[in-house]
Copies of this chain bind each other. A is one copy, B any other.
Amino acid sequence: MTTARQEVGKSRRGGRSARREKRAQSAQPTALPYIQRNVGVYTLLDDEGLSLIEHNADTILQEVGMEFRDDPEVLDIFRDAGADVQGERVRFERGMCRRIIQTTAPRQFRQHARNPERTVMIGGNNTLFCPSFGPPFVHDIERGRRYATLEDFENLTKLHHMLPAVHHSGGVVCEPVDVPVAERHLAMTSAHLRLNDKPFMGAVTAPERSLDTVNLAKIVFGDTFVEENCCIYSVVNTNAPLVLDATMLGALKTYARHNQAVVVSPFILAGAMSPVTVAGTLAQLFAEATAGLSLIQLIRPGAPCVFGTFSSPISLQTGAPTFGTPEGMQIQYCAAALARRLGVPFHSVGALTASKVPDAQAAYESAMQLSAAFHAGVNFIIHATGCLEGLLTTGYEKVIMDADRCAALQRFAEGVDLSEENQALDAIRDVGPGNHYLGCDHTQRNFETAFFRSTVSDNKTYEQWSADGSLWEHERANATWKSMLYTYQRPPLEQGIDDGISDYTAKRLEQIRSNGDSS
């Protein structure tokens, strides 16, 4: 068949190289700092159903309560607020946690990026995509699976800087296991601040590491600015069922006191850490999240906070977690609706998979969960890129392939344009029955930006595809990430700030090493 390009060439000669240039630009999705949704959300439970979940969460908090371990200060805070504290177990009157949150927590807030053009709005009708968090391994199709290093961390941070539909630099995009544990947060934070100008996540593994993150942010953004604005976004997981431990509480308190955003995200493998049902899991996770979020608001009323979930069913045959499942999607849809009723932003998982390789399983599971996260209206979609092996691994090719799907969803979020130009009635009148639209004026005017263009899908004929080497998508993605790293350019950073990061890091490394705490 005649191609669109040939047709356009036929009917409007001249200005060809200008058009080619414009086309080259528009081949990349627009690098918006975040997605302002122009489309609605999908809901599963009606208000009656959601009220029942809230009611059950209240019952759990009232009758069973939640344990806050090894942190007497937190117990005092809750006691002072009127909760029933016995040992480390804290019980709450019905509705108490939600009331505390709803009194002072912001419905949405801005997280500043060091490049102001990358600053994101979290909550409301906005959505953003963020890389995976936590994998100790990386994978690519040539070297296979191996322990991650700082070089991998930096590579992934560079790729995410360049990917236009990834809006956040993330946190532990992989564990740089060649760096001692006590020093890792410094290496990772420096990499985020230097190699990527999008917003980033803070360390949560010890209160002093959280404080280091705050101090490094102050070097970049300024002391006062950090105390008055959100520049760091961090995730605190509960130890389901119904426990928050001292490590997580330490991070929560540090960030909340400095007015930095904290997500309270129950980490639940349903069937092991919660009941084997969607309704039971929802009540438990809502109880855990609201207890944690109320603590933030008691510590610093008005501090930005986010309701998060990471909830996947386990296989009841093997005990292994499963991903992209109907139940995982159901939990996410319902939790998003609970967050909207609560009135705080919602954070949840994207392209998760249990597959070890960038195969069809990885893509099916990831697409199902990512698509559900998007349609649920999740504000902050973590693990939107790279996940393999249930987050034990991040894959180089997987990052590229997932980011392509993020770009597709970003385009979907623009909604349907009903302008007169897009209604195209004149075009339909002009072309008439039995003809084609390839060369008509309306197509000429609109074809450059008309449809989404994938960067890694192959839409060619079988013959062209064979002539190009019969590549599978992961093979094309392999070429893509290599070429991106080759052309990567570090975003500009003031020399004074760069030096400040170096000086702070050097000073802290000396302290850490002299304390002998490097394990």
Contacts and interface: CB of A to CB of B under 8 A. Distances in A.
Interface string A1-33: 111111000000000000000010000000000
Interface in A380-423: 389-390, 392-393, 401, 404-405, 408-409, 411-412, 415-419, 421-423
Interface in A241-280: 241-243, 270-280
Contacts of A156: none
Contacts of A450: 271, 276-277, 313, 316
A466 to B, nearest CB: 8
A52 interface: yes
Contacts of A477: 360
Interface string A445-460: 0111011111011111
Copies in the complex: 2
Given A67-B433, A271-B4, A42 B44 contact: no
B427 A275 contact: yes
Given A44-B39, A44-B40, A241-B434, A318 B5 contact: yes
Contacts of A65: 433
A52 B361 contact: no
Interface in A305-363: 313-322, 324-327, 329-330, 334, 354-363
B447 A64 contact: no
A89 interface: yes
Contact of A428 (B280, B358, B412, B458): B280
B60 A425 contact: yes
Nearest to A145: B462
Contacts of A470: 356-357
Contact of A443 (B1, B276, B363, B422): B276
A443 B275 contact: yes
A125 interface: no
A458 to B, nearest CB: 7
Given A241-B428, A272-B437, 6 more contacts: A3-B318, A64-B432, A277-B422, A280-B428, A316-B448, A393-B462
A40 B40 contact: no
B459 A318 contact: yes
A243 B355 CA distance: 47
Interface stretch (A198-206, A364-372, A493-501): A364-372
A49 B364 CA distance: 32
A334 B416 contact: yes
Contact of A438 (B145, B271, B283, B432): B271
A435 interface: yes
A324 B363 CA distance: 13
Given A368-B371, A442-B276, A361 B283 contact: no
10 contacts: A4-B316, A40-B42, A271-B450, A276-B450, A277-B446, A278-B422, A279-B422, A280-B424, A322-B459, A360-B401
A229 interface: no
Contact of A375 (B42, B275, B423, B434): B42
Given A327-B451, A363-B360, A56 B425 contact: yes
A473 B361 contact: yes
A360 to B, nearest CB: 4
A319 B367 contact: no
A276 B8 CA distance: 13
A475 to B, nearest CB: 9
A434 B243 contact: yes
Contact of A4 (B318, B358, B372): B318
A461 interface: yes
A45 interface: yes
A371 B359 CA distance: 19
